[in-house]
Each structure stands twice: as C-alpha cells, then as structure tokens.
Amino acid sequence: EAQVTQNPRYLITVTGKKLTVTCSQNMNHEYMSWYRQDPGLGLRQIYYSMNVEVTDKGDVPEGYKVSRKEKRNFPLILESPSPNQTSLYFCASSLWGDKPQHFGDGTRLSIL
Amino acid sequence: GESVGLHLPTLSVQEGDNSIINCAYSNSASDYFIWYKQESGKGPQFIIDIRSNMDKRQGQRVTVLLNKTVKHLSLQIAATQPGDSAVYFCAENGGNTGKLIFGQGTTLQVKP
C-alpha cells in the first residue's frame, strides 16, 4: 500500500529535550515536505526537499532541522523544543514538486 | 507576504445539493493550485489540482475553476453527500515549485 508513515503519532515531552519525528514514504517520490497545523493558522510549510541531499526552508523553519540522506526518509529534528512548537505535524511526499502531495496521518507534539 | 484565503470558514448544505467553496489568492506568480480535503484526525487528502494555463478542470463529482484575472479559485462538489463533510483547503505554490501555501480552510457540513 502506497503511504507516508510518520512516527511517533503522539508525543509529550519537555522543553529542551531533543526529539526526532521520522517520516518514510514507499512511493519512490522525489519530493518530501513537513508542515505544521495550528488552529486559526492552517497548514504552514516548515521545510521541503526536492531530492536527496537537497533541502529548502518553507515559511516557518525556525527551530527545526531536516535531513534527506536517502530518498524514502525525511526526518524532522527539534534540537531544543519549546512550547511554541506544540502543534500537529504532517509529512508529505509527491513524485516531484507541483504534483499532488500525499500526506501522513500526522504527529501531535506537546512540548511542556 | 502572499496569502491564500477562503471566503467562508463554514459552509452548510443539504445532502444532494451542490456545494461551492471559494478561495482567493494573492500571488499572481502562482501557477499551480490544489484542493485538499481533511477529515477529523487524518491528514489532508488530495482532491483535484489545476495549473494556471487552464480555467477549469473536472474530476469525479468535483470541478475546480480558476479565474486568474481576479485571483479566485473555487471548488464545486456536485450532489453533496454526508461523506463530503470535512475541512477543505486550497493551496498555491507562489510560483515556486517546491513551496505550497495553504488557505485557512472551509468546514463543509452536510445536513441529511
């Protein structure tokens, strides 16, 4: 089954404790992206990757890191999480940019 | 900066009626537009897309209209069903192949 898989689905943690949210796709897609979704603000793009070893900032990259060492994986790293990063996060992938993106089921992060 | 907005936060329609969800975008450089549907607890799901060289595109029960003159996008759903109840987002690429900018979302409620 073609899918985008995120882990964990839920996480409660504390300020400053580094965490990684993994994202994996099995569709051999070139393009991958991370979004956060907050009430009243909709979905906002954090980072995206057009291909392996190529990453670019979206609209809200501050406080986040990403890496794209292999095509299928695109982890989101919060080196020092803060409460304002409490949000619902989505990973997405597509064949390439300007193609419909397939979204994962989301990761709900709570930073205390 | 650019923004994508939806005219109404909530739209309530009778089952069987047609639904029209509107979206205004501000970036005239955008050349790719997408509509997504998001059900509670799930990630956004692709519905239909359109490129700027087209005015209209039809799918199964859905039609997207693009008016570049007034920077307006609409999603028409024919014979709306209870399963269509969800939040609908429009998105644009701002002329950048890698980026995707989402609107705030319109909640569609289908009354039986």
Most B CBs within 10 Å: which of A43, A49, A60, A88, as the mutation test of the B interface? A43
Burial class (CB in 10 A: 0-12, 13-18, 19+), B30: buried
Kindly list the residues from chain B whose CB atom is less than 8 angstroms away from the CB atom of residue A90. 43-44
Q: Closest CB to B49: pick one of A96, A100, A102.
A: A100
pLDDT of the residue at B6: 52
Residue of B21, B41, B28, B25 whose CA lies nearest to B110: B21
Q: Tens digits of per-residue pLDDT, A37-95?
A: 998 888 999 999 999 999 999 999 999 999 999 999 999 999 999 999 999 999 999 99
Q: Tens digits of per-residue pLDDT, B77-92?
A: 999 999 999 999 999 9
| Phi and psi, residue A84, nearest 5° | -75, 0
pLDDT of the residue at B1: 31
Kindly list the residues from chain B whose CB atom is less than 8 angstroms away from the CB atom of residue A33. 98, 100
* Six-digit token string for B4: 């994508």
C-alpha span between A98 and B66 (Å, rounded): 16
* Six-digit token string for B34: 């997408």
Higher pLDDT, B89 or A98: B89
C-alpha span between B66 and B53 (Å, rounded): 9
Do the chains contact at B44 and A90, CB–CB below 8 Å?
yes
Please, are residues A58 and A47 in contact by the beta-carbon 8 Å criterion? yes
